Amino acid sequence: MRHLLLLPVVLWFIFLLWGVLVIEERRKSAPALSDACSSREAKSLEDSYVAIHDMPSNYRLFVKDLLWDSKLRKGLEQTQFLGKHLGCSVRAGDPVKLSDLRYAPKIQPRAEKKAYLISLRAQPALALMVNTGSKIDIWRDFEPVLHHIPVLALLCDDIPGTDCSAVLEVSDKEMETLWKGAGQKLQILISSIQS
């Protein structure tokens, strides 16, 4: 009888172990995304798309960011690029290859600064305008609270614009200001856009 009580626990453990193995196998077979972009000289247009505008490292790619002329793009699809983050800065006209991308941004606030995550759920249109390199102003109850706060990265669900958050670079004092207003409705205004 006691063995029957342990059966669900043993089955749960086996299922958990199987899940870990499946995830690890998929991770190994996924294309490698690097932390650094290949040099411009080493890039050919044949296996890349072209940047329409300058973009900093960690920039989350959207349709508006790359030239999608696919005549020379052997086997590449937009879905392989959209929603990924750049591993380095690129200039307008530079080729962007799959090896230049990351699945997630690398968050590195400057000294004496911290990363702070703020939801854009209440203002979903901002997710299509704000990105790494943008600066925002934060308002509470029609009063400005913080000005020109740098955006380090944009984190979104798989479908852009559905549920995004901005990773902000803030000082201890700015973080305290945001915490004091926790639970109150914040409005975000764009002070400068990285486009």
- Per-residue pLDDT tens for 106-123? 999 999 999 999 988 888
Identify the architecture of domain 40-102 in CATH.
Answer: Alpha-Beta Complex (3.90)
Q: What pLDDT is stored for residue 48 in this prediction?
A: 86
Contact by Cβ (8 Å): 163, 156: yes
Mean pLDDT of 79-92: 93
Dihedral Cα 179, 170, 140, 137, nearest 10 deg: -170
User: Model confidence at 155, in pLDDT bands (50, 70, 90)?
Assistant: very high
Binning pLDDT at 50, 70 and 90, where does residue 36 land? low
Window from 22-31, 53-62, 73-82, 163-172 with minimum mean pLDDT? 22-31
Residue 24 banded pLDDT, cuts 50, 70, 90: low
pTM, to two decimals: 0.74
Cβ atoms of residues 99 and 32 within 8 Å: yes
Which pLDDT does position 184 carry in this prediction?
Answer: 76
- Using CA atoms, how far apart are residues 91 and 87, in angstroms rounded to an integer? 13
